[in-house]
Amino acid sequence: MNIIKTGIQQTLIKSSLSNSKVGIRAFCTHYSEELEWVKLSDDNKIATVGLSSFGAKRLGKINYVELPKEHRKCRSEEKFGVVESTNATAFGLYAPVSGEVLEINDKLKADPGLLNSDPANNWMVKFKVSKPEEFKKLMDSRQYKKFVKWYR
């Protein structure tokens, strides 16, 4: 495996569907254009998805979260849920990568405001990834900072 240095050593993850390198770094947060953060497990099989801090601030006080049922299969960029807030009537949530919903964060049903108070640590959905190569289209933190400046 190749090693890249970015302050700490991180390994390029190999695709479980082929032996080609996916081009993402383990243990790093990636971002979608839908204002979501995404973390891929080190075994390249599970994607954990949450709302980015910027997304939470932009939406304002979140008062409702609708998440998909477990075992639902989603394609990349397919709508899987909705967040409602005081600033936006309804904001769609979209799958950043293709996969099957393994788990949803049930705490958000009772307290959707967790996405405002600590969006980095309150994930929404965990997907079993079916196409890890789709991670290539996601942004790293440097690219996301530029995107957020443009988005404003």
- Structure token pair of residue 119: 């969006």
Q: What is the pLDDT of residues 36-82, one digit of tens each?
A: 999 988 888 999 999 999 999 989 999 999 999 999 999 999 999 99
**Domain boundaries defined on the chain:** 29-131
* 111 or 87, which is more confident: 111
Are 71 and 101 in contact by the 8 Å Cβ rule? The answer is yes
Structural domain 29-131, CATH architecture: Beta Barrel (2.40)
pTM summary value: 0.79
- pLDDT surpasses 90 at 93: yes
Q: What is the pLDDT of residues 102-147, one digit of tens each?
A: 999 999 999 999 999 999 999 999 999 999 889 889 999 888 889 8
Sequence-distant (≥ 6) Cβ neighbours of residue 74 within 8 angstroms: 68, 80, 95, 98, 99, 100, 101, 127
Average pLDDT across the chain, whole number: 82
